[in-house]
Structure 1
Amino acid sequence: VENIPAPTQLEGTPQMLVTSLDYSSYTGRIAVGRVHRGTLREGMNVSLAKRDGSFVKSKIKELHTFEGMGRAKVSEVSSGDICALVGIEGFEIGDTVCDFENPEALPPIAIDEPTMSMLFAINDSPFFGRDGKFVTSRHIHDRLMKELDKNLALRVRKSEEDGKWVVSGRGVLHLSVLIETMRREGYELQVGQPQVIFKEIDGVKCEPIEELTVNVPEEYASKIIDMVTRRKGEMVKMESAGERVNLEFNMPSRGIIGLRTNVLTASAGEAIMAHRFKEYQPHKGEIERRTNGSMIAMETGTAFAYAIDKLQDRGKFFIFPQEEVYAGQVVGEHSHDNDLVINVTKSKKLTNMRASGSDDKVRLIPPVQFSLEEALEYIKEDEYVEVTPKAMRMRKVILDEIERKRANKN
């Protein structure tokens, strides 16, 4: 209160830049922004100044201001108020709502382009339709189209194959928020590996570069720097603050995919990581991704502790005993770089004969549990994450082992 100047009221003809939008199934699209100058009233006739310099006549039906988590209806808003306008048709972000008689446009704002895309597909695994209410391609298509009304940086393109869409967004987090929301609403879908969107600028192949900051205890700094530079990151600055170090890098978006898990492991969970898009720069060359292969279930059934125990030396598991699995599901990470097909549904054959040493206790290492984002960053090109309201599984795109081998040869 002492140091921040009081807001200044700008009088004159009304001006409001549309900076965000909302959507209601009753009233359609709602323009949200801050009134720059003048006063807007309910039922007022206004002009909408478009990006291309044209003007469209329109009318405000209702005005809402934001209170707490909800909105309250008001009759007028003046300079400095953040409000939502109902009734304005055909607006885009960066358009200006201005005076009916003497329209004056404000400079438009730029919307960031998407930098990452993923393949969304209908769930066609053996367990489809068990948990979700909305499983057909029509349901998913309608939901994605609805999302476009209020999610600005999102782009959706129908794929050549039936029941598949290429969805582009601002990064893994942006897209995983959409997937998580859909999952909670009762949708079932499958998602492919995140792909970076490349652009050709002046005949040069360019890729998105992000500004990455990592705050980490001093003893782990060298490990993190080594990890990031291996993924083509360039260190910009390093400053120590007490016992911790702030590291700043410029890094290709491709290198950030799957980095968080490794950084947290290397720093014993101490690292704090943030990144944001900076610009497009020429392609930085090959980046190594996950090198370990997958352990894949051989047949459909219930996983037994007995079988998992005998296979533990082959790698890390992602499933609990008594969990249902299907043929082609990724149940663990192999300790070598090739894929391994294993039978986790084998139970112990019980006989009435006693044998020495055959009744050892089963000692299981707890399985690795992935969050949605970690799973998306973990999978390889030939794998999907299957997302349903109650479960999240990783699987091979081609479930049948013989078909998979044939495809790999081709």
Structure 2
Amino acid sequence: MAWRVLATVSRGSAGARTPQGALRALSAAPASADLTRNIGISAHIDSGKTTLTERILYYTGRINNIHDVRGKDGVGAKMDSMDLEREKGITIQSAATHCSWNENHINIIDTPGHVDFTIEVERALRVLDGGVLVLCGVSGVQSQSLTVDRQMKRYDVPRVAFVNKLDRAGANPDKVVDQLREQMALHACAVQMPIGLSENHEGVVDLVKRVAYTFKGVKGEEVEETDVPASLVDEVEERRNTLIEAVADVDDALAELYLEGDEIDASVLTDAIGRATKAREFVPVFMGSAFKNKGVQPLLDGVVSYLPAPTAREGVCALDLENDEAPVPIECDSDAPLLALAFKLEESRFGQLTYVRIYQGTLKKGDYIQNVRTRSRTKVPRVVRMHADDMEEIDEASAGDVVAIFGVECASMDSFVSGEKRGESSRLAMASMYVPRPVISLAVAPKKGAPPNVVDAFGNALQRFTREDPTLRVHVDNESKQTIISGMGELHLDVYVERMKREYKVEVEVGEPQVNYREAITRKATFDYLHKKQTGGSGQYAKIIGYIEPIEEETFEFVNECVGTNVPSEFIPSVEKGCRDAIAKGDLVGFPVEGLRVVLQDGAAHAVDSSDQAFRAAALYAVKRAIGEAGAKVLEPVMALEVSAPTEFQGDIMGSINQRRGMITNNSTDGAQSVINADVPLAQLFGYSTDIRSQTQGKGEFTMEYKTHTSVMPDQQAELVKEFQARRAEESK
């Protein structure tokens, strides 16, 4: 058997034989954008994203030692730099780093797996050119895996998959590949096969090159490349043919060679997989165990071979602000006018730290840049590359790079162009991202008797957190005067309450979690309303006629069908504003009304007494009255719940879900583990984490994400209406 040892640490930087040597060599920027890869590592919670990133950084020489997420040394993984992350053993904020591999510069963003922090995944995938979808070899495709898949598809991000944890009992990578095809509708196929599973997992076979990799050394840093073991040769050939057929289905060049019966060598197959992956028509699946230091280096080779460089990313467009936001193709050209997107904000000891993706042009320290939204012009005092919470100062960064800048005030998703002079690109801006709406709220306030400096710190904390996180919303309730924070889940809000205590020394009093209900109508209703007031001098006069009707979308529509000048055109915007005022707070339970279309058909105006104010008031009262006649109903948020626990607890879990008015949608058992999927109202899930721990002796875990709003039961609606009326009566005293 022929073999050779690859000193993989040295592969990150030519000539470096130690991690320290590789680290020193990283300060140089890549020779060109062709040698750059911008990737995000995303997965369901506890699938091993941060552990995988830690190994990548070690094998590329970026860090000198490996620390585990829940390691006994108390240090924690490099990318989990926040104290809360290390205490809870989860990723809360996405963290950026960079490394080198075979002369390629790789920017990496490690993202959270918990659904409460899904905006971190959203913003990362918005600016990255490729993704690594990590899947547990035992649990396979899970709820957040599906969410990440939707996010990758939303932004047309090519991806490779990595089936992790093959050292665990019950690992079944073939099942995971099947789930990728069936549940995610991906054209996926393995490019590797494991050498042993569970405690017998030794390495992987590369189906493309027909070689075996095993991982030696204290931390798996030595990769032995050998011939395929004789016992696996036949299976390797069979699986390789399956791979070739799968790629040939989506790549015409390979299909032609395959149909002609030509031998498909490694280089030809590699090129075909790369073309199909970059075109988002194929997903190559890698395998290993990051925790056991197996399979990481071949995955890095796959990232370089199969995921696109910024120059090869297809379909990247900016929006032409002077042409109704028409898409304008842009090229990754360092000599073109600057166009960059601020995708993440952080508060640091030096002020606001702004993460930017440079789409074209070059950003230099000392340059003037212009915010496309505000038209403000700012000098860039510092440009840095991030390594989790560490920084490396650089003089410039070019098209295709991901860096951070200091001293530039902006909002998330602001676009920047060159500020030296108004150029062609100043009319261009990058599209924003999808922001899911919050589903849960808390009333928060500093503890009673807090001194003024603590009250100020409380306000500063909320202002900072909402700037950083678009899914965190803050408002003051007009009736109760309480400060309400809204977010994606209990954990999401708990983290921010804890951060106020740690980072701003503010002790916070927290009210009961509040579900964000919605109101809707069930049938069409007409309105014919005259608003007339005469109090001396100019009065108010406005008449509007029309109807309201329910629509399927969770939105509001205003349609003007007026013919003639009975309602003067200058008052139409005021009518729409009045309609929006009417639906901002419903009369049933005080939440916004959605799924509503208002159609204005006719009306009347007075030559003297009609005004914007009069028509706005008329629309407000008319639509309010019509909603009351249109069968108003209350909608509650329903969450997609996934519970994973040993099979012995299956009955108790299902019984608990039924008690919480949940509807079980799927129940599967794989060996000793059960996975239960259900749709459960959010109001019934408060405190569920405590219940699931007690029901499963601490062995069960669950995730949930917002699915939809649905009608509440009649008795529940009556109770909610009664509570709201009692609360309103109490507040009016």
* Residue among 86, 89, 112 paired with 2:406: 86
For 1:9-408, what aligned pairs fall within 5 Å after superposition?
9-10=310-311, 11-12=332-333, 13=336, 14-24=338-348, 26-27=350-351, 29-50=352-373, 57-89=377-409, 91-99=410-418, 101-103=423-425, 104-124=428-448, 137-159=455-477, 164-184=482-502, 185-199=504-518, 200-202=593-595, 205-283=634-712
CA distance in 2, matches of 1:80, 1:208: 40
CA distance in 2, matches of 1:5, 1:207: 46
- Post-superposition Cα deviations, 1:258-307, rounded to whole Å, max 9, x if no partner, equal 111111111111111112233434446778xxxxxxxxxxxxxxxxxxxx
In structure 2, give the amino acid aligned to 1:175.
L
Q: Which moved more, 1:218-227 or 1:1-10?
A: 1-10
Check whether the contact 1:38–1:79 (CA below 8 A) recurs between aligned residues: yes
> Shift of residue 181 of structure 1?
1.9
CA distance in 2, matches of 1:111, 1:149: 13
Distance 1:139 1:241, change over 3 A: same
The secondary structure found in structure 1 opposite 2:650 is helix
> Shift of residue 55 of structure 1?
5.7
In structure 2, give the amino acid aligned to 1:172.
E
Partner of 1:401: none
- Post-superposition Cα deviations, 1:189-233, rounded to whole Å, max 9, x if no partner, equal 311111011233225533333222111111211221221233232
Check whether the contact 1:137–1:163 (CA below 8 A) recurs between aligned residues: no
Check whether the contact 1:23–1:149 (CA below 8 A) recurs between aligned residues: no
> Shift of residue 242 of structure 1?
1.8
CA distance in 1, matches of 2:480, 2:676: 45
CA distance in 1, matches of 2:347, 2:378: 18
Check whether the contact 2:350–2:406 (CA below 8 A) recurs between aligned residues: no
Distance 1:271 1:143, change over 3 A: same
**Is 2:328 the partner of 1:4?**
no
Aligned pair count reads 279
Distance 1:39 1:9, change over 3 A: farther
**TM-score, scaled to structure 1:** 0.59
- Post-superposition Cα deviations, 1:3-43, rounded to whole Å, max 9, x if no partner, equal 2235514332343332211124654x332133334432222
Distance 1:166 1:263, change over 3 A: same
The secondary structure found in structure 1 opposite 2:303 is coil
In structure 2, give the amino acid aligned to 1:34.
R
Q: Which moved more, 1:258-267 or 1:29-38?
A: 29-38
Higher helix share: 2
CA distance in 2, matches of 1:284, 1:74: 60
Check whether the contact 2:641–2:679 (CA below 8 A) recurs between aligned residues: yes
Distance 1:57 1:23, change over 3 A: same
> Shift of residue 97 of structure 1?
2.5
> Shift of residue 136 of structure 1?
5.4
Distance 1:182 1:94, change over 3 A: closer
The secondary structure found in structure 2 opposite 1:5 is helix
Check whether the contact 2:635–2:711 (CA below 8 A) recurs between aligned residues: yes
Question: Identity of counterpart residues, as a percentage?
Answer: 21
**TM-score, scaled to structure 2:** 0.35
CA distance in 1, matches of 2:365, 2:702: 45
CA distance in 1, matches of 2:500, 2:715: 34
In structure 1, give the amino acid aligned to 2:675.
N
CA distance in 1, matches of 2:379, 2:668: 54
Highest RCO, 1 vs 2 (Cα 8 Å, sep ≥ 6):
1
> Shift of residue 166 of structure 1?
1.7
CA distance in 2, matches of 1:152, 1:77: 27
Higher strand share: 1
CA distance in 2, matches of 1:266, 1:194: 23
In structure 2, give the amino acid aligned to 1:74.
I
Distance 1:45 1:183, change over 3 A: closer
The secondary structure found in structure 2 opposite 1:107 is coil
Check whether the contact 2:411–2:467 (CA below 8 A) recurs between aligned residues: no
> Shift of residue 246 of structure 1?
1.5
Check whether the contact 2:644–2:673 (CA below 8 A) recurs between aligned residues: yes
Check whether the contact 1:210–1:250 (CA below 8 A) recurs between aligned residues: yes
Check whether the contact 1:61–1:87 (CA below 8 A) recurs between aligned residues: yes
Check whether the contact 1:93–1:109 (CA below 8 A) recurs between aligned residues: no
CA distance in 1, matches of 2:363, 2:712: 49
Distance 1:24 1:241, change over 3 A: same
CA distance in 1, matches of 2:715, 2:487: 23
Distance 1:136 1:175, change over 3 A: same
Check whether the contact 1:122–1:163 (CA below 8 A) recurs between aligned residues: no
CA distance in 1, matches of 2:714, 2:361: 53
**Structure of larger gyration radius:** 2
In structure 2, give the amino acid aligned to 1:106.
M
The secondary structure found in structure 2 opposite 1:40 is strand
Distance 1:99 1:142, change over 3 A: closer
Distance 1:210 1:17, change over 3 A: farther
CA distance in 1, matches of 2:676, 2:708: 19
The secondary structure found in structure 1 opposite 2:697 is coil
CA distance in 2, matches of 1:273, 1:33: 34
Check whether the contact 1:66–1:82 (CA below 8 A) recurs between aligned residues: no
CA distance in 2, matches of 1:284, 1:45: 58
Check whether the contact 1:121–1:163 (CA below 8 A) recurs between aligned residues: no
> Shift of residue 170 of structure 1?
2.1
Partner of 1:318: none
Distance 1:147 1:217, change over 3 A: same
CA distance in 1, matches of 2:661, 2:341: 40
In structure 2, give the amino acid aligned to 1:102.
E
The secondary structure found in structure 1 opposite 2:302 is coil
Check whether the contact 1:35–1:80 (CA below 8 A) recurs between aligned residues: yes
The secondary structure found in structure 2 opposite 1:224 is helix
CA distance in 1, matches of 2:378, 2:653: 55
